[in-house]
Amino acid sequence: MTKGTALITGASSGIGAVYAERLAQRGFDLVVVARDIDRLNALSRRLSNDNGIAITPISADLANTADLGRVLAKVENEESLTLLVNCAGVGPKGPLLGSGTESLDQMVQLNVEVLHSLTVTAAKTFAARGRGAIINIASVVALMPERFNPSYVASKAFVLAMTQALSAELEPHGVQIQAVLPGFTRTELFDRAGIDINVIPPEMIMEAADMVDAALAGFDRREVITIPSLEDVRLWDEMERARTSLAPYLSLRHAAARYADGRSA
C-alpha cells in the first residue's frame, strides 16, 4: 500500500529535512524542494537507500517566479501527491527598525506569498480529488507579537490565520490541514540570520527531530493547530473560546457606547 507522494519545501536542512526523513520512514514517496541541490541529492540518496522509496529532488529558489511556477505545476499535476509540507522559510536578522526594507520584503515574500500560492494550489487540487493534506509551518511568535520582529511575526500570523480559515473550507472535501507552531528549534535558521543560538536559554530550545515527531503526532490526531511544547492544551482551548465569544459583537450596525462621544455635533 502506497501512502502517495509528499512534497516538502525547505527540505535541505532543519525542520524540512526531518519531515523528509520521517515521511520516508512512513512509506511516502517524496519530492524535496530547496535551492541547495547537493544537499537535496545527498538526502535523497540516503532516504531512498534506507527506506526503498522514490525521491525527486527539485532545485528551486521559491522567491523566483519561474522556479515557483515549476513547483506549483508539480503540485497541480503530480497525480500521486497526497501531502504538501510548507517548510521553506527565513527568519529576521534583528528588529525591524534596524533591518533593510528589501530583506524584510524578501522574508515576507517567502514566508507568506510563496506559502500562500502553494497552499491555494494544493487546496484546490486536493479538494477536487477528495483527498490530501497540507502541513504549514508557522511559529509560536504568531501568539506573541510584541516579542519579535514584526514582519516575521506577521508572516507567521498569516500562516496561522490562513490555515485556520482554510480548514473550515477543506473539511467537507476530505482534505486535512494543520498549522505547526514551533518555539525555538535547533536548526540553521539562527546561523542564517546571524543570531547566536547560545544566547537563548537551553530549556527553551527543542531539537528539530522532537519538534517534528510531536507535530506528526498532532497531525495523526487531525489537530488543526499543533503547539509542540504546550503541555496544558486547555490554555489554547480557553484562548479559542475567548476569541470565538467575541463573534456576536464584531460586526453590528451601531458603534459601541464608549465611542458615542466621538460623534461630531
Ligand X SMILES: NC(=O)c1ccc[n+]([C@@H]2O[C@H](COP(=O)([O-])OP(=O)(O)OC[C@H]3O[C@@H](n4cnc5c(N)ncnc54)[C@H](OP(=O)(O)O)[C@@H]3O)[C@@H](O)[C@H]2O)c1
The answer to whether 10 contacts ligand X (rule: CB under 6 A) is yes
DSSP-assigned beta bridge partners for residue 81: 5
Q: Which of 3, 22, 35, 124 binds ligand X (CB under 6 A)?
A: 35
**Residue of 17, 8, 35, 6 whose CA lies nearest to 207:** 17
Taking CB under 6 A as the criterion, the residue among 20, 55, 104, 110 binding ligand X is: 110
Say whether residue 116 binds ligand X (CB under 6 A).
no
Q: Which of 6, 7, 14, 158: binder of ligand X (CB under 6 A)?
A: 14
- Give the residue among 46, 58, 41 at the shortest CA–CA distance from 5: 58
Nearer to ligand X, 198 or 264 (CB): 198
**Binding map of ligand X across residues 66-105, x = CB under 6 A, - = no contact:** ---------------------xxxxx--------------
Calculate Rg over the CA atoms of the chain.
20
Residue in the block written with cell 486535512: 176
Q: Does 57 bind ligand X (CB under 6 A)?
A: no
Minimal distance in Å, beta carbon 241 to ligand X? 25
**Out of 30, 34, 43, 227, which residue is the one contacting ligand X (CB under 6 A)?**
34
**DSSP secondary structure string for all residues of 154-223:** HHHHHHHHHHHHHHHHHGGGTEEEEEE---SEESTHHHHTT--GGGS-GGG-EEHHHHHHHHHHHHHTT-
String marking each residue 219-258 x if it binds ligand X according to CB under 6 A? ----------------------------------------
- Binders of ligand X among residues 167 to 226 (CB under 6 A) are 182, 184-185, 187-189, 192
CA distances from 213 to 19, 23, 101, 147, 246 (A): 9, 10, 36, 27, 34
Q: Does 62 bind ligand X (CB under 6 A)?
A: yes
Listed residue (119, 114, 155, 157) closest to 136, CA to CA:
119
Q: Which helix (H) or strand (E) holds 225?
A: strand 225-226
Task: Report the distance separating Cα 219 and Cα 192, nearest Å.
Answer: 28
Query: Binding to ligand X (CB under 6 A): which residues in 120-159?
Result: 137, 139
Give the interface with ligand X as residue ranges (CB under 6 A).
10-16, 34-36, 60-63, 87-91, 110, 137, 139, 182, 184-185, 187-189, 192
